[in-house]
Structures are given as structure tokens and as C-alpha cells.
Structure 1
Amino acid sequence: MRWTLPNILTIIRLLAAPGVAIMFLYFSRPFADWLALCLFVGAAITDWFDGHLARSWKQETKLGAMLDPIADKAMVLIALMVIVGYSSMSPWLVLPATVIAFREVFVSGLREFLGDTAGTLKVTALAKWKTTVQMIAIAVLFAQGVFEHYFGMSVIGMDATLIDAILAGREEDILGLWWKYEGMVWTGYLGLGLLWIAAGLTLITGWDYLQKSLPYLKETR
């Protein structure tokens, strides 16, 4: 194994994936949300740097080629698990998350089955866009969790009538409820919209990989 900088960045990203979930085990919210968001964004940035550096410095290795897609999938799946686990289990969130998780497991299974011929399932440009949109969507949804928690803490002890009056501007907004609420709503909409786009790209790329693998799945007589 060659311990190049790109490989080290990939390993850091791989270790950061479970770290996102661990943040919620040992830290209270919203501190855990902030740590998970920063850890996820930092790890996502290394996804671009390690590949770029490996190509620029001609340091592409078998270790990096193996770990890079594993790190990407681990980041996405663990982060989605955390987000769904701390959500209200809305079908608008659970459905695209399920599609993404199913596709990642399915394509990984195809690659494992094809073995030496898995080169036919090379990562396409559209698949790279899919991963990028997934990571942006997840980062936005983590941010939505931050706004949601701050808003929830600010309205403790208030009744619905008072909250509505403050948000409507009829009462003084001493605690900044309006910007916390707006941040919660709009990051929620944006994150869900991007996640659905990612799910659509996930289905397209998954179908493309299946089509490419069909010739190798035929029974020989």
C-alpha cells in the first residue's frame, strides 16, 4: 500500500462517516448538529481534493480506487440514517432516502458479483453529479436540523397563539423566532428538493449500471 496524501484524505473521509453518527451519541443538540454538519462538509470537500490530487500528482493507487467509492457510500448512507432517525419519518424524506440506499447496495452487489469484469461499471459523469447532489442535500438537511432545534428551544413555554403572533409581526420578536423559523422551513424545502433530485439521478445511474451488466448475467449453455 502507498500512503500518499490522496489516500490519507480518503481514509480520513472513511473514518469521518461513522463519526457523523457518533456525534449524536456523545453530544447534545444543537452542538451535535453543528459538529456533524462541519464533519460532513469537511469530509465531502476531501472527496474532491483526494481525486484531484491523485490525478494531478499521478498518485492513483489500487487502495485509493477501492476506498474512494466505499467512503462516499458510507458517508451518504450513515448521514441519511442519522437524518431519518432524528426526523418525523415523513414519507417525503424516507422515500428518497430508501431509493438512494437501495441503489447503493444494489450497485455494490453488482460490482462484487462481476468481479474482474466490474470495470464495465466505471463511475460515469452523471454518477459523480449524483454523489455531489446527495452530499449537498445532506449538508442542507443537517443545517435544517440546527435551525429546527434552535427554534424549538426558543419557543419553550410559549403557546401557539403567541408564536403565531410573533411570526406574523404582531408581537416583538425578542428571541429571533422569525429568522430561525424561516431558516428551518427553507433549508427543509431545499434539502428535500435536492434529495429528490439525487434520488432521481440515483435511479437513472442505477438503471444504466444494470443495463451494462446484463450481458455478464446471462446463463451460459
Structure 2
Amino acid sequence: MLTVPNLLTLSRIVALPLLVACLWWPAWAAGYWLAFALYCLMGITDYFDGYLARAQGTVSKLGVFLDPIADKIMVAAVVLMLVATRDIEGIHLIAALIILLREIAVSGLREFLAQLQVSVPVSRLAKWKTTLQLVALGALILGGAVPAEAWVKQVGLVSLWGAAVLTIVTGWDYLRVGLKHMD
């Protein structure tokens, strides 16, 4: 079912290779600017696909399936590119790794629980985690466009650690629910 919300979600997936290409050459400041603009547009579509689906009553199984996938591959691709370009390095790699590992673990846990017909709703804290994560990655991309403004990258790194902490808390919440259903 290709509704407007589903098309917005699909547009994020289709735009991802372009975002990665913009970040491919770390010395190309214009690439970071283009990546930042595209990343912001992708974030806006992430908000509006869910908003429109609920407002129009067009929440679909395809949308419920695709939206978290689009979110996770976007986060994973951006994190990996920022590590490759050394925008995330040193001790900050731990925060990036925590985020990536949680995304994979929670996806697996949700799949396992879905087979048992157990739904795990997204908590408010998980939404804050996602918001902080998106702010962190956006600031780190923007930091590559304006390297003279070191504070932009610092905002990104502090937000990355904040997201990592919330990632641990929300990941533990999901795991506790999952453990109740395991033999």
C-alpha cells in the first residue's frame, strides 16, 4: 500500500546512498553541507510519515514494518560513515558502538517477541533516545561542514554520549520484557 506516509518512509531508504556518498570524501566540505541538508530532510520525513499515518488513519502493516528499518539503517549508515571519516573517534567510538549494538539487539528481540505475539511499545524514553541520537548525528555532520566551529562537533559528541546512556537504559527495558518470555 503506497500511501503518502509509506512513500515518505521509502524516500528515506532511497536517499540513504546519496547521504553516504555526500560523506564519502571527508575533505569535501560541500559534501557535509549536502549531507546535513539531506539528513535534516530525512529527519523531517521521519516525523511526518508517522504523524500523517496517524492523522489520516492510514497506519499500515508496511509502514509499521518499514519505519523502524528506515530509522535503523539511517542511524547505522551515518554512524559508520562518521567513524570512517574520523568524525567519531577515540573514546567516542564506545558510544557509537553502544548505539549500534542496541539497535541490532532490540531489532532481534522485537522479532523474537513478534513470533510470540508479544508487542513491545516504544517508550517515551526511547523516543527521547532517538531524538538525542538524531541531534547528535546531525551535529556531527554539521561539524564536518564547519570545522572551524569546534563547539558544533562538541554538541554532537556530548549528545552522542547522552544517546548512548539512554540507549543502555531503554535497551535494558526491552531486554527485561523479553526475558519474561524466554525459557
| TM-score computed with the length of structure 2 as normaliser | 0.93
Matches within 5 A, 1:59-208: 59-87=58-86, 90-117=89-116, 119-148=118-147, 181=148, 183=149, 185-208=150-173
| AA of the residue aligned to 1:76 | V
1:115 is displaced (CA, Å) by: 3.1
Q: Which structure has the larger Rg over C-alpha atoms? A: 1
1:41 is displaced (CA, Å) by: 0.8
Across the aligned residues of Structure 1 and Structure 2, the Cα RMSD in angstroms comes to 1.8
Q: Which runs of 5+ in 1 are unaligned?
A: 149-180
Q: Distance in 1 between matches of 2:133 and 2:73?
A: 12
Q: Distance in 1 between matches of 2:39 and 2:141?
A: 9
Q: Is the 8 A contact 1:16 1:75 kept in 2?
A: no
Q: Distance in 1 between matches of 2:28 and 2:177?
A: 45
Q: Is the 8 A contact 1:9 1:46 kept in 2?
A: yes
2:28 alignment counterpart: 29
Count of residue pairs the alignment pairs up = 183
Q: Is the 8 A contact 2:136 2:155 kept in 1?
A: yes
Q: Which runs of 5+ in 2 are unaligned?
A: none
SS at match of 1:121: coil
1:217 alignment counterpart: 182
SS at match of 1:216: coil
Q: Distance in 2 between matches of 1:82 and 1:26?
A: 10
Q: Distance in 2 between matches of 1:52 and 1:109?
A: 26
1:9 alignment counterpart: 8
Q: Distance in 1 between matches of 2:131 and 2:118?
A: 22
SS at match of 1:122: coil
1:28 is displaced (CA, Å) by: 6.5
1:47 is displaced (CA, Å) by: 0.9
2:55 alignment counterpart: 56
SS at match of 1:120: coil
SS at match of 2:142: helix
| TM-score computed with the length of structure 1 as normaliser | 0.78
Q: Distance in 2 between matches of 1:199 and 1:26?
A: 27
Q: Distance in 2 between matches of 1:69 and 1:210?
A: 18
